Structure 1
Amino acid sequence: MAETGEAPPIRDASTVLLVRRDNDAGPSILMGQRGAGAVFMPNKYVFPGGAVDRGDADIPLAAPIGPVCTERLGLDAAPGLAGALAAGAIRELWEETGLILGQSGAWPGAVPYDWQDFAGSGFVPAAAPLTFVFRAITPPGRPRRFDARFFLADATHVAGDPDDFSRASDELSHLHWVPLTEARRLNLPFITEVVLGEVSALLDRNGPPDSVPFFDNSGPVPRFRRLQ
């Protein structure tokens, strides 16, 4: 944690928008509520996600994220960050919901501590179901700041029952599938509302979008960009 008066660092982060389309009510999205005591966005409903860990860059992926998304993730980023962001997205989804995006198989080599339960389930993480759809940097003045990349994935790629949250951590409460038409009635962060609007227009599209919106608050003047 930064000392008083010291600006917090901007950390890379990954967020997963898991979409389900198996009922007549239309698509729904998986969301949970952050605790009242959370430093960042208390009480808000959010998508599963969090900061990328240092070890995420070394995680083996059974299937990499697509080449267009990889290229866009690499813009203004350190070499190799695209794979770390994809692995971080899968790890955060697993930790916060207990759901697995992966392929059955054995890990090559030693399994990191925070991936042991995932590997123990008989799966290796697979990033192919992820589509990079949004990027936003937290504005200055917040207690924590993130350079967050948002990934869209269809729940048909989840290994197992998408309603089984028994292996989830306690970081998010009230995990449930929210109809997309009702999601904006929840207590949402502003950026989550923006992302929901963007994703609604992408659900019927196959493949990555033509460009990725980017709310860039890295400098003194906010900028809106599109990553081609």
Structure 2
Amino acid sequence: MDKTAIRNAATVIMVRDTQHDPRILMGQRGAKAAFMPNKFVFPGGAVDTGDADIPLATSLQDRCIAQLSHETDPALIPALATAAIREVWEETGLILGEAGTWPTPPPADWASFAAAGYLPSAAGLTFVFRAITPPGRPRRFDARFFMVDAARQVCGDVDDFTHACDELSHLQWIRLDDVRHFDLPFITQVVMAEVTNLIRNGETPDTVPFFRNDDEESLFLRLGGARL
């Protein structure tokens, strides 16, 4: 596989206590990671080939689908939602799902999710940002950032990370005002500025920022073509 190729990816900004003391779930990448070592990040990762075949108990909202459809193959959209849910499960052990039985035996990477008695659900996922990794990095991703209210959408205890893999360490809920004191990638800082405004204003974005880094130029757009 060409490691310099741009891969589609999904990232999830999990929020809790939005009305009183908002907190964001983040973890630290390993020192030997090829991409963003030691940085604190949101759970997320690349879309897998099999993500498009995973059944969703509830699909994305129509508004979210419409926003994702700008400059994106519509066939990719369900896989982005599924990848977001899978990455949250793998990296944090938290389930975004609904109680139910799988129509067919799940693939290996979904076996423990299904064994818990849940189907993945995209209910509550809001599309809030899109960014393409600049050229010259060891990995490049076309990442879609989703936000979700963990208190409403997570099945079980939002503080239970016992089922998380070891990709992210120091998983923790960080107060919104404290996030800036952590070692964040540049793009995470940019996304946090957008997300902070959405949380504090209680808004759902009408348009979604798109930080598009092509080989020729970098543009900061609103999906739909308007330049910021």
Distance 1:39 1:90 in 2: 23
Matched, 1:9 2:16: no
- Which one of the candidate residues 59, 65, 72 is aligned to 1:64? 59
- Deviation of 1:105 (Å): 0.4
Distance 2:18 2:194 in 1: 21
Size of the aligned set, in residue pairs, is: 223
1:163 is matched by which residue type in structure 2? D
Partner SS, residue 199 of structure 2: coil
Q: Check the 8 A contact 2:11/2:84 in 1, yes or no.
A: yes
Distance 2:148 2:184 in 1: 20
- Which one of the candidate residues 177, 184, 188 is aligned to 1:192? 188
- 5+ unaligned residues in a row in structure 1: which ranges? none
Superimposed CA distance per residue, residues 4-60 of structure 1 (whole angstroms, 9 cap, x where no aligned partner): xxx710000000000010785x10000000000000000000000000101111111
Distance 2:94 2:45 in 1: 15
Residues 162/73 of structure 1: CA separation in 2 closer, same or farther (3 Å cut): same
Residues 87-126 of structure 1 aligned to structure 2 (within 5 Å): 87-126=82-121
- 5+ unaligned residues in a row in structure 2: which ranges? none
Matched, 1:161 2:126: no
Moved more, 214-223 or 179-188: 214-223
Residues 1-228 of structure 1 aligned to structure 2 (within 5 Å): 2=2, 8-21=4-17, 24=20, 26-156=21-151, 157-204=153-200, 208-228=204-224
Over aligned residue pairs, what C-alpha RMSD do you find?
1.5
Report the TM-score, using the length of structure 1 for normalisation.
0.94
Q: Quick one: percent identity of the two aligned structures? A: 59
Report the TM-score, using the length of structure 2 for normalisation.
0.94
Residues 194/59 of structure 1: CA separation in 2 closer, same or farther (3 Å cut): same
Whose helix fraction is larger, Structure 1's or Structure 2's?
2
Partner SS, residue 195 of structure 1: helix
1:56 is matched by which residue type in structure 2? D
- Deviation of 1:183 (Å): 0.2
